[in-house]
Structure 1
């Protein structure tokens, strides 16, 4: 189990690295959006490429940060019962959810996303807008982002099982919105 837990620390670092990239993409998106607004209203200049890059960067933010969000237990959950469970009960719910929901659904998204990207890449798919961008780079984010999420999901599964065995203490609380 110790070797698997060491492996999870590497996966955590990978997720954190791509979360930093996503944070940089947030800054880039805001900068491009502000630049685009100023150039459009102040100078009457606009470009479809600048508009399209914003939603492509948003896709990058979402796909690259999702594994880290899972790692820090910041994902959205329906907390009707989970909050009232004991720490051990929460671990079991997480193990069940990862095995029966996260892994299968993410695996399907990787499989579908790969063919979605590959067709776009083979067809050299481009935006139909004048000055538009190619679509395949942003479509590559789908299988890649879901692969990161799957990898982090497996790491979280290992951590939860280790916690159930008493090999490690796992923080299973999450930050709920304060009312």
Structure 2
């Protein structure tokens, strides 16, 4: 049982690693796109609404795919002034409680509403309201659902690891 649960945690951690890599690739693409867009606008006086919207979409990908990666690497927001003084056992209990009572319920709520949000966009063939903007808005909206599903999974992984540290899975 313990080995299976830890393997499940390892698989989730691997997914978060890949999500982080995808977010990092989006950050590189975003930087290159901004340089290109700014060059075209200020040197050649040519702008593109679609490119500017694509910049926002890539920024969304950077942020959203970085969520589970940040949780995996413990780089999320926390009151470290207090947390640093706690014992490892207390830290594990706080980790479990925060995942089960805050992160997972909030992320599931966002997934719940995000699925309808994305589906409605798909069914309406939602496009940018700006002339020359991007089509298929449901793609970027689906990033919300995917990112928060990954966050729920990573929160489960963090809970498993905290339980293991407490000796509950030994």
Q: Does TM, scored on the shorter chain, surpass 0.5?
A: yes
Work out whether 1:47 is the aligned partner of 2:48. Answer: yes
- The aligned runs of 1:9-24 (5 Å cut-off) are 9-24=10-25
SS in 1 for 2:84: helix
Find the aligned partners of 1:91 and 1:157 in 2 and give their Cα distance: 8
Moved over 4 A (4+): none
Give the Cα separation in 1 of the matches to 2:98 and 2:168: 20
- Report the CA distance between 1:138 and its aligned residue: 0.5
Long gaps (5+) in structure 1: 169-179
CA-CA distance at 1:128 after TM superposition: 0.8
Aligned to 1:66: 67
- Cα distance in 2, alignment partners of residues 164 and 137 from structure 1: 41
Unpaired runs of at least 5, structure 2? none
Match for residue 136 of structure 1 among 126, 135, 138: 138
Question: Any residues of structure 2 matched to 1:104-123 within 5 Å, and which?
Answer: 104-123=105-124
Number of paired residues? 168
Aligned counterparts, 1:1-179, within 5 A: 1-134=2-135, 135-165=137-167
- RMSD over aligned CA atoms reads 1.2
